[in-house]
Structure 1
């Protein structure tokens, strides 16, 4: 799916190229005090606090003969706006409105492209009158911005987001049309029974199996359908401790398995019931969660497990201690040999993928946020309270959120954990990785790109 497009328009020398450079994160467009430096449309890939889009820097909009150079530049600007999902209309808050600003406003109102009005160069009191003047253009509240200093970028994010954020309904339609499968990777130590499990799922001896450890070397992707739902199964090579991996081919296989984890949506970590949980299993689980993938831990060979109840409880306790970053990771028992527990495993995998893809409506999210803060207010170091203003979800897969506020560098880790745990509990997100970042309002964009 192509990236949504944002076009930056306005009269010459209002700061369009400066904003373009800030959005793409580097000095790409030439910037100078002289008007008319930009002539062609310049395009780049931008990221604004997790929003990915294509941004177009346009030439200054001038009223000239179409055959002249300024006239041809204006035609390029018109073409950019027509193809964009949203246009950022920049005015200079320090200079105030000009007749050309008003002409551009009339032209934009006649177009079908949504418009976000931005009063640039808004730092300082000298810009206040120009910001108020911008209300008269008829595009609603102007975003007070300093593209040069990064002030107001959080407000720009909120204004642009409805126009460029991926539509979750469209993603669901893609899945319904078969364009999106559940990407399920089976990982674990050598000889845990990964290939045997894949063969049992497929109902055929698709993968070579045997008592020898390390038969599988490459990650093998297989398309499959379970109860009418498309699945892409990935069988991977066994992962041993790095210190024990000496063979070059095994090193390549291990790297291939790690790429499979990156590719997957849900990862099944397969344990061997005859060996229990080992330190390497915890390392694989931690890596999976750090990559933001949903995780299921399945204990294989359960049909031959000895003292099954105590084994299960022991593994559960070890996981609670070793995976403190995410509690209640699903722990299931299966038998690749008999097929027992496989349907339950797949049901949990699809449920986890749904939670991993969850989007919380902004209103519901902020009502929860206000309640969580009221129930347990942030601390007040040295008598000065930390102010948490609002929260927004910037993406899903995994669910990722940004909290805006001030003095956030003094917010203790315990309070951050409180918010994460309350979010999982109250919003029904469940045991999937969450991303929670904190941004100050002064200059959130620069910190977000690190």
Structure 2
């Protein structure tokens, strides 16, 4: 494994900006207000060939453990366990604060090697803060500007004596495995958990991991960044010749409220980050709150996932308290949500629906097993011969209409892509083909070819007449017009 380096410091000293600089991407949300980061975020970092895993953490605050800032601090403390080094970041322009000194005392009591980083040291404004930081007793500070990229070479010099040997060993191991491991498993299932605020997304992931990896609590909107966590799940239904170990990349996302209710800049950034997480997922789990049922916003989130071509499944969380304080029985609630989904998601029928409990673990193994099956369907390719046999049978059972007495001719179909499955139908007079017939074909693809609730894309393509706008002639059709 690559060496792991933790970034620690009080709020608003530029930890997330440094994280983004080291990973080379704007992965972590950055804003002027303190306390933007709440959960640990990991990324692959590299400085002059030195490769390591960098971990961004929440700002360290001196608050009671039961408060939100206190719980954020406990998450940061937990991140030090197993770390190979820590970057203690201070704000050189603001100078040392009592909180900086308290963090330094805590770090000196731990065995993790510390590299002191004086950020925002560009220009003369940070000189006094850099000199002042020597008093912390953590050695010579690395003066840098995470925003402008200044001083990163000095950071390399501070980290190399601590993690250089382990980084080299990890790189050699990775090269060996890449060259010789012919039976390397497929990539992990990218599973994004989405939903409205306080549906229990972070709690569900913590339950799966068996640890309090993500910050949770009664406050709505705790999660801000989309956090990806690599994890191995053991399938209880695996056969005797299968160890059942499945790789999953769990992606926690910020809660998505109605657009008109999102007014603050930071929440807009969080929702945009959640949308990007959906783009990179393979299977999306929409988590509902059993105590609130299905709302219009849930259908909008589901539609977003389907529009992006992701495989969708829906889980009703808090099933252990379903029906309490209300008139609906659990079975009535389940059937009611199922019927509402049938009406509200007309573009995909039969989306998998599960009753789960992040608190007790009910239904989570069943949900994960179904997610792998759904990804398999989402990635499936149908042989052209079998596809056109189905196509011929579908047209024989229900021929295309003949508006104005002129029949629409559908010649053949081919699959042009997967993830999601994409098909192109070739024919003539396709502009006149009714939407109802298109739906008939899409529903047939799902029902007869095993795509079930997977979003399917079908495009219609008509050949152009080469004599209409081309110079010369030629007997071959070229180009085409699309109708999707």
State TM-score, norm by structure 2: 0.56
Contact 1:185 1:260 in 2 (8 A): yes
Residue in 1 that maps onto 2:191: 184
RMSD over aligned CA atoms reads 1.7
Match for residue 253 of structure 2 among 236, 239, 260:
236
Match for residue 285 of structure 2 among 256, 264, 268:
268
Match for residue 376 of structure 2 among 334, 339, 354:
354
Quick one: structure 1 residues 285 and 359, their matched pair in 2 at CA, closer, same or farther if it must change by over 3 Å?
same
What's the secondary structure of 2:415's corresponding residue?
strand
Match for residue 201 of structure 1 among 196, 208, 220:
208
Residue in 2 that maps onto 1:435: 457
Is 1:414 matched up with 2:436?
Answer: yes
Q: d(CA) in 2 for partners of 1:268 and 1:275?
A: 17
Residue in 1 that maps onto 2:266: 249
Count of equivalent residues: 277
What's the secondary structure of 1:373's corresponding residue?
helix
Deviation of the 1:178 alpha carbon:
3.8
Quick one: structure 1 residues 445 and 196, their matched pair in 2 at CA, closer, same or farther if it must change by over 3 Å?
farther
Gap regions ≥5 residues in structure 2: 1-180, 235-244, 324-328, 465-476
Deviates more, 1:254-263 or 1:305-314: 305-314
Q: d(CA) in 2 for partners of 1:394 and 1:186?
A: 29
Describe the superposition over 1:411-439 as per-residue Cα deviations: whole angstroms up to 9, x where unpaired: 00011011111111111111100000100
Residue in 2 that maps onto 1:213: 220
Higher relative contact order (CA 8 A, sep 6+): 1
Q: d(CA) in 2 for partners of 1:420 and 1:411?
A: 14
Describe the superposition over 1:154-197 as per-residue Cα deviations: whole angstroms up to 9, x where unpaired: xxxxxxxxxxxxxxxxxxxx996245111000000000000000
Deviation of the 1:322 alpha carbon:
0.7
Match for residue 374 of structure 1 among 389, 396, 412:
396
Contact 1:175 1:181 in 2 (8 A): no
Contact 1:316 1:331 in 2 (8 A): yes
Q: d(CA) in 1 for partners of 2:182 and 2:330?
A: 39
Contact 2:460 2:482 in 1 (8 A): no
Contact 1:192 1:300 in 2 (8 A): yes
Gap regions ≥5 residues in structure 1: 1-173
Match for residue 387 of structure 1 among 409, 419, 425:
409
Residue in 2 that maps onto 1:168: none
Matches within 5 A, 1:93-132: none
Deviation of the 1:446 alpha carbon:
5.7
